[in-house]
Chains A and B, each alone.
Chain A
């Protein structure tokens, strides 16, 4: 790991050479240093890592920092997300058909949570857009992959998942009001914001930045080992096109070409979750993809919610372990006076959508990561339950 450490001066000198070589093609600035992997410690500023950084007009991606999207993402209070991955030169991740890819030590994953700014509003206004439209988020085509256009977005936080010798570590950084830098917030943060929909409807809410231990609340994949790991970097989530600067391409294929991934010859042979918003895809596939990414990181056989016997991963058979007619185990008041997790054909009597609809700690699911209700997500799960057949007759 020595090559990553104590190399600040070397790296800066190297970047100056690159700048000189590139002549006037790219403006040379202090941000043109390469990505800096810290093998230990907790750098106080996001820019110390040089993965993504505010360069005055953009949230820019450094060279080798590759953006990616998921087929169906986790809901986080309607925040838009810019996800990136970077690996040290000459290293690559190994494909896994089901789990997260096996990434080398040195890998840095970033996820920036932001909102589109409202037209005419200041960038640091508490009011932000509640919208699925990402068309104005991105910077114009330039060298490297497109970042975010700072004039159009309100940056809230950037979370890093860093793969060190001892395992993955989570580091939450919160953006300052001037949107010039994000500062380490190990104990989390709470930001009062207001979502404004296209029709003008307003909803005030508190955006909660998790603390480091709360990061683990979702990212611990095995309760016994307590090791944390990325969630989204699995074949079924990544197997989709991404609009790279050089043109659209399948992400698994692109990563393979870049040398970031080995072990998958043809993305068509890999699993692929549905896009929850794509009504052209089967309702069941959309609902299962939604539950997989929003609930499956805890509700699986090895996760923190294995106390409940409820498995909401894409792999669960559609029986009681998926919640069909299953009496709750420890839902407490989270039942909402309902008897079963899912009553086929009857979302109004099912616990699952009740807890999704709630935004009250102690009732709502997921337990963290949101303080608002994902209305469109609830509608999807209600439609899915409506289409399920059978009943939960209590007759013995």
Chain B
């Protein structure tokens, strides 16, 4: 009944698909500034510096840059603000197809789609950039805050993303990446490294998200990711109810996840402070634990197992006491009681059975946890959580440490 009534109303009210009120026209000053800024983006040549003056500048269409070697510089991420609240054409705030690109000291607010997207760039620096949806976490917020994709040599530092309806800082299908000293709050995923090769994620603070820091591999893409180091970060109290649209990759992340590794190999997680995340401080899982696996739509060559995961020296505190989702809640109560909690590391238990030697993966592909008294719960996902157990021996191993990422321009 409700749906039919809404559909009829939509037919009657023209422009229902537009999501409500008609966009407001820009003030004359803003329109003039937008035209000037658009011209600067169109005319930029290598070496150009586009200065964004202090102030709040309302824009209604995406800023697109295609010239290499350009710097976009504001007066500070709380001073030079590009607001896309009334955006009519985008959907991004800023869209960059360029190499040797630097953006610093400014804010992008309320874009309809991604805040800052850099597609296919080489030598990218994003510094002191704040991307924020100012109305707080909403499903209708743009998907990604800071989003370099298919890029090489990427530095994201001293920046912030707040309120993204998917991932705040999202590095996809890239190579050689450093994400450091950033702040991610109130996003579904705070920081997400996906299908990326060689990433160092350190000295970031992720709090108040659904999941703090994620390292994922998705199927069907040209580049499977590997080799990510997550260290010296603070990921705490990421307990925000998941507000992603269903079907989005991060919609499968339970609220209360500190750090999540999904289907991604060679991940090293060390020296982090991970605390107060209600489902688990650290989750290691397979694509099979998402709801998206199917034989027709997923590349048969895709590797859905997290292999060679090395966890050591982290400072875990609290957490695991109120997991998200009925299955995990039931599991927690059954094993640890109403007032108990999951151990610090939750593993869904999916393993490539074809690879097993004496019941364990080959030494180079194991999940190794050398983290004081931190325990690992094997949730027995493949058997619908029938025989979950805390396993003290399977994870007693070490892996060779990954090399630090070095960027030519950092």
In the complex the two chains form, what is the Cα distance from A329 to B144 in whole Å? 12
B100 to chain A, nearest CB (A): 14
A160 to chain B, nearest CB (A): 16
Asked whether, in the complex, the Cβ of A226 is within 8 Å of the Cβ of B66, the reply is yes
In the complex the two chains form, what is the Cα distance from A286 to B88 in whole Å? 30
Chain A 333-364 per-residue mask, 1 if CB under 8 angstroms from chain B, else 0: 11111111100000000010000011111111
A342's nearest neighbour on chain B, judged by CB, is: B297
Asked whether, in the complex, the Cβ of A361 is within 8 Å of the Cβ of B119, the reply is no
Asked whether, in the complex, the Cβ of A327 is within 8 Å of the Cβ of B247, the reply is yes
Chain A 193-236 per-residue mask, 1 if CB under 8 angstroms from chain B, else 0: 00000000111111010111110110010011010000000000
In the complex the two chains form, what is the Cα distance from A216 to B64 in whole Å? 10
Asked whether, in the complex, the Cβ of A187 is within 8 Å of the Cβ of B112, the reply is no
For chain B, the count of residues having a C-beta within 8 Å of the partner chain is: 68
B84 to chain A, nearest CB (A): 9
Residues of B contacting A332 in the complex (Cβ-Cβ under 8 angstroms):
113-114, 142-144, 165-166, 244-245, 248
Residues of B contacting A203 in the complex (Cβ-Cβ under 8 angstroms):
14-15
Chain A 305-319 per-residue mask, 1 if CB under 8 angstroms from chain B, else 0: 011010000000001
In the complex the two chains form, what is the Cα distance from A319 to B18 in whole Å? 32
Tell yes or no: A91 within 8 A of B by CB: no
Tell yes or no: A325 within 8 A of B by CB: yes
A101 to chain B, nearest CB (A): 24
Tell yes or no: B120 within 8 A of A by CB: yes
Chain B 221-246 per-residue mask, 1 if CB under 8 angstroms from chain A, else 0: 11000000000000000000000111
Asked whether, in the complex, the Cβ of A362 is within 8 Å of the Cβ of B142, the reply is yes
Q: A307: which of B41, B95, B150, B166 is its contact (CB, 8 Å)? A: B150
Chain B 380-393 per-residue mask, 1 if CB under 8 angstroms from chain A, else 0: 00000000000000
Tell yes or no: B54 within 8 A of A by CB: no
Given contacts A186-B39, A325-B296, A332-B245, contact A320 B64 (CB under 8 A): no
A322 to chain B, nearest CB (A): 10
Asked whether, in the complex, the Cβ of B87 is within 8 Å of the Cβ of A361, the reply is yes
Tell yes or no: A266 within 8 A of B by CB: no
For chain A, the count of residues having a C-beta within 8 Å of the partner chain is: 66
Chain A 366-396 per-residue mask, 1 if CB under 8 angstroms from chain B, else 0: 0110010100000000000000001011111
Residues of A contacting B291 in the complex (Cβ-Cβ under 8 angstroms):
339, 394
In the complex the two chains form, what is the Cα distance from A381 to B114 in whole Å? 27
Asked whether, in the complex, the Cβ of A331 is within 8 Å of the Cβ of B35, the reply is no
B31's nearest neighbour on chain A, judged by CB, is: A190
Q: A226: which of B89, B97, B247, B299 is its contact (CB, 8 Å)? A: B97
Tell yes or no: A64 within 8 A of B by CB: no
Q: B218: which of A205, A327, A338, A368 is its contact (CB, 8 Å)? A: A327
Asked whether, in the complex, the Cβ of A333 is within 8 Å of the Cβ of B143, the reply is yes
Chain B 259-302 per-residue mask, 1 if CB under 8 angstroms from chain A, else 0: 00000000000000000000000000000100111111111000
Residues of B contacting A206 in the complex (Cβ-Cβ under 8 angstroms):
23, 88
Asked whether, in the complex, the Cβ of A328 is within 8 Å of the Cβ of B64, the reply is no
In the complex the two chains form, what is the Cα distance from A326 to B293 in whole Å? 9
A126 to chain B, nearest CB (A): 13
Chain B 115-126 per-residue mask, 1 if CB under 8 angstroms from chain A, else 0: 000011000000
Asked whether, in the complex, the Cβ of B14 is within 8 Å of the Cβ of A337, the reply is no
In the complex the two chains form, what is the Cα distance from A83 to B120 in whole Å? 32
Tell yes or no: A79 within 8 A of B by CB: no
Tell yes or no: A104 within 8 A of B by CB: no
Tell yes or no: A188 within 8 A of B by CB: yes
Residues of A contacting B220 in the complex (Cβ-Cβ under 8 angstroms):
309, 320-321, 326-327, 329
Asked whether, in the complex, the Cβ of A392 is within 8 Å of the Cβ of B297, the reply is yes
Asked whether, in the complex, the Cβ of A330 is within 8 Å of the Cβ of B297, the reply is no
In the complex the two chains form, what is the Cα distance from A392 to B292 in whole Å? 9
Asked whether, in the complex, the Cβ of B173 is within 8 Å of the Cβ of A307, the reply is yes
Residues of A contacting B150 in the complex (Cβ-Cβ under 8 angstroms):
306-307
A162 to chain B, nearest CB (A): 16
Asked whether, in the complex, the Cβ of B15 is within 8 Å of the Cβ of A330, the reply is no
Residues of B contacting A216 in the complex (Cβ-Cβ under 8 angstroms):
64, 66
Q: B297: which of A211, A327, A336, A359 is its contact (CB, 8 Å)? A: A327
Asked whether, in the complex, the Cβ of A373 is within 8 Å of the Cβ of B143, the reply is no
Tell yes or no: B62 within 8 A of A by CB: yes
Asked whether, in the complex, the Cβ of B246 is within 8 Å of the Cβ of A339, the reply is yes
Tell yes or no: B371 within 8 A of A by CB: no
Tell yes or no: A267 within 8 A of B by CB: no
Asked whether, in the complex, the Cβ of B15 is within 8 Å of the Cβ of A204, the reply is yes
Residues of B contacting A336 in the complex (Cβ-Cβ under 8 angstroms):
245, 247
Tell yes or no: A293 within 8 A of B by CB: no
Most chain A beta-carbon contacts within 10 A, residue among B89, B120, B143: B89
Residues of B contacting A66 in the complex (Cβ-Cβ under 8 angstroms):
none
B20's nearest neighbour on chain A, judged by CB, is: A360
Residues of B contacting A224 in the complex (Cβ-Cβ under 8 angstroms):
120
Q: B65: which of A213, A351, A357, A361 is its contact (CB, 8 Å)? A: A213
Asked whether, in the complex, the Cβ of B61 is within 8 Å of the Cβ of A330, the reply is no
Given contacts A226-B97, A329-B221, A394-B292, contact A214 B15 (CB under 8 A): no
Tell yes or no: B172 within 8 A of A by CB: yes
Given contacts A190-B88, A214-B64, A393-B294, contact A320 B247 (CB under 8 A): no
Asked whether, in the complex, the Cβ of A213 is within 8 Å of the Cβ of B66, the reply is yes
Asked whether, in the complex, the Cβ of A333 is within 8 Å of the Cβ of B88, the reply is no
In the complex the two chains form, what is the Cα distance from A188 to B106 in whole Å? 24
Tell yes or no: B76 within 8 A of A by CB: no
A168 to chain B, nearest CB (A): 13
Chain B 200-230 per-residue mask, 1 if CB under 8 angstroms from chain A, else 0: 0000000000000000001111100000000
Residues of B contacting A190 in the complex (Cβ-Cβ under 8 angstroms):
60-61, 88-89
Q: B88: which of A202, A341, A361, A392 is its contact (CB, 8 Å)? A: A361
Chain A 257-285 per-residue mask, 1 if CB under 8 angstroms from chain B, else 0: 00000000000000000000000000000
Tell yes or no: A144 within 8 A of B by CB: no
Query: Given A217-B95, A337-B246, 10 more contacts at CB 8 Å?
Result: A203-B14, A206-B88, A304-B119, A320-B220, A327-B297, A334-B143, A361-B91, A362-B142, A371-B88, A393-B295
Interface residues of B (CB under 8 A from A): 14-15, 17-19, 22-23, 34-35, 38-39, 41-42, 60-62, 64-66, 87-91, 95, 97, 111-114, 119-120, 139-144, 147, 149-150, 165-166, 170, 172-173, 218-222, 244-249, 251, 288, 291-299
* 5 interchain residue pairs of minimum CB distance: A332-B143, A325-B297, A335-B247, A213-B64, A361-B112
Q: List 21 A-B contacts (CB under 8 A).
A: A187-B35, A190-B61, A213-B64, A220-B97, A307-B150, A309-B220, A325-B297, A331-B247, A332-B165, A332-B248, A335-B247, A339-B247, A340-B247, A351-B247, A359-B17, A359-B18, A361-B113, A362-B140, A390-B296, A393-B295, A394-B294
